Chains A and B, each alone.
Chain A
């Protein structure tokens, strides 16, 4: 149930700054071609970020550098071992 799907933030709700007392900062996100409103009040996302979306909320900004680096490091390590 804790499934989260990557999406790209396309637009963040106009004029809605972060307010600790308020939930509900909305954004438009692109799920591989499908556009949907998500809530970004749990993350400091900017337009262009890839976020992990769970139950309509961005729960984390995906670290693209780490995504590439994890694979590269493993490839390098495995090259050395075999």
Chain B
């Protein structure tokens, strides 16, 4: 693996930790908005080595977790169509909808196939011309351009039996929604590395300016995370609110222009619903008019009864960073990785699953 050992160097980590302790005076709350950061912070014991005045809060950084129950219900409804093959990333299989899950539907005979890439879904569509193949398009800006590229490929190849249920969600509008919500104190954001590979660090400039909050884009190794925390501490101690990139090997200020152009070409922005955060303006994508032939919602009846949330499940509050999993009455009792009640326990990158696995 490339450039992993040096970003796991114990001695360098120790020095950065000492530096954080020496510099950090104020009580600060840093939110990470990326499930991979959440897991890395736990796996590497980062919280345990920080001074007690620094709190790390997990935000809505797991795409599976922020997928709304109604979106799961629509996916389940699609899977019950007799001529449909559902293709999905595996993370979504066990997420509970109002009454069922994709996993239960598969057990009942629905043709649901877990794929590694949307390219696999295109191949399945090509190989099964008598079926309609629907891809469940979840994910943030990291994943959305891959779906856009697949739609372009389907169009140019003349594939008529491929559809996408576009459920993508966009990170900067969610960060702003959290800040404007008013029930959460956040002093700095650790911004997601691979989302930012696509959208560029410049995407956070409005957040820093409107809310005077520093944003540091971080990689995923322990040195990356510690460096990012140190950079945030430095800014906060000096009263600054800048966008900085720690993860320079994978992120630029401008982002991936090819990927952004493809997204722009295929998608329009739209309002979308997030679990825990409700509807956020211009925080999602829908297919543009010229690509509507691939829009699942145009080709299938997706009307569903009003979605029902599990009473007592606090995933919504956990995704906003307002409570920790330990404060949820279901956590470790009725809700555990073997029997997840809410999506934050389903996904390996969910806050509850990470707490369950790593927090004694």
* Residues of chain A at the chain B interface (Cβ within 8 Å): 1-4, 6, 8, 20-24, 32, 39, 41-44, 50, 52, 54-57, 59-60, 62-64, 66-71, 74-75, 78, 81-82
Cβ-defined contact, B142 with A54, below 8 A: yes
Q: In angstroms, how far is the closest chain A Cβ from the Cβ of B38?
A: 11
Cβ-defined contact, B35 with A1, below 8 A: yes
* Interface mask (B312-332 → A, CB under 8 Å = 1, otherwise 0): 000000000000000000000
Residues of A contacting B3 with CB < 8 Å?
Answer: 6, 62, 64, 67-68
Cβ-defined contact, A82 with B117, below 8 A: no
Cβ-defined contact, A54 with B194, below 8 A: yes
Cβ-defined contact, B63 with A1, below 8 A: yes
Cβ-defined contact, B36 with A62, below 8 A: no
Cβ-defined contact, A3 with B118, below 8 A: no
Q: In angstroms, how far is the closest chain B Cβ from the Cβ of A79?
A: 9
Cβ-defined contact, A52 with B194, below 8 A: yes
A6 to B89 CA separation, bound complex (whole angstroms): 20
**Is residue B107 contacting chain A, with contact meaning CB distance below 8 A?**
no
Q: In angstroms, how far is the closest chain B Cβ from the Cβ of A46?
A: 14
A60 to B201 CA separation, bound complex (whole angstroms): 14
Residues of A contacting B250 with CB < 8 Å?
Answer: 4, 52, 60, 62-63
Q: In angstroms, how far is the closest chain B Cβ from the Cβ of A82?
A: 7
Residues of A contacting B120 with CB < 8 Å?
Answer: 56
A78 to B35 CA separation, bound complex (whole angstroms): 29
Residues of B contacting A39 with CB < 8 Å?
Answer: 117, 119, 146, 149
* Interface mask (B241-278 → A, CB under 8 Å = 1, otherwise 0): 00000101111000010110010010000000000000
* Interface mask (B191-202 → A, CB under 8 Å = 1, otherwise 0): 011110110000
A76 to B85 CA separation, bound complex (whole angstroms): 55
Which among B12-20, B46-54, B73-81, B172-180 touches the partner chain?
A: B12-20
Cβ-defined contact, B349 with A1, below 8 A: yes
- A-B CB proximity, top 3 nearest: A56-B117, A23-B153, A23-B149
Cβ-defined contact, A4 with B146, below 8 A: no
A66 to B3 CA separation, bound complex (whole angstroms): 11
Tally chain B residues at the interface, Cβ within 8 Å: 61
Residues of A contacting B265 with CB < 8 Å?
Answer: 20
A2 to B250 CA separation, bound complex (whole angstroms): 13
Residues of B contacting A50 with CB < 8 Å?
Answer: 2
- Contact partner of B143 (CB less than 8 A), chosen from A1, A6, A8, is A1
A82 to B155 CA separation, bound complex (whole angstroms): 59
A20 to B257 CA separation, bound complex (whole angstroms): 13
A68 to B6 CA separation, bound complex (whole angstroms): 9
Cβ-defined contact, A41 with B149, below 8 A: yes
Cβ-defined contact, A4 with B142, below 8 A: yes
- Contact partner of A2 (CB less than 8 A), chosen from B15, B155, B194, is B194
A14 to B149 CA separation, bound complex (whole angstroms): 19
Known: A1-B91, A66-B248. A23 touches B262 (CB 8 A): yes
A52 to B142 CA separation, bound complex (whole angstroms): 11
- Contact partner of B116 (CB less than 8 A), chosen from A2, A21, A55, A78, is A55
Q: In angstroms, how far is the closest chain A Cβ from the Cβ of B71?
A: 15
Q: In angstroms, how far is the closest chain B Cβ from the Cβ of A76?
A: 12
Residues of B contacting A42 with CB < 8 Å?
Answer: 145-146, 149, 256, 258-259, 262
Cβ-defined contact, B152 with A78, below 8 A: no
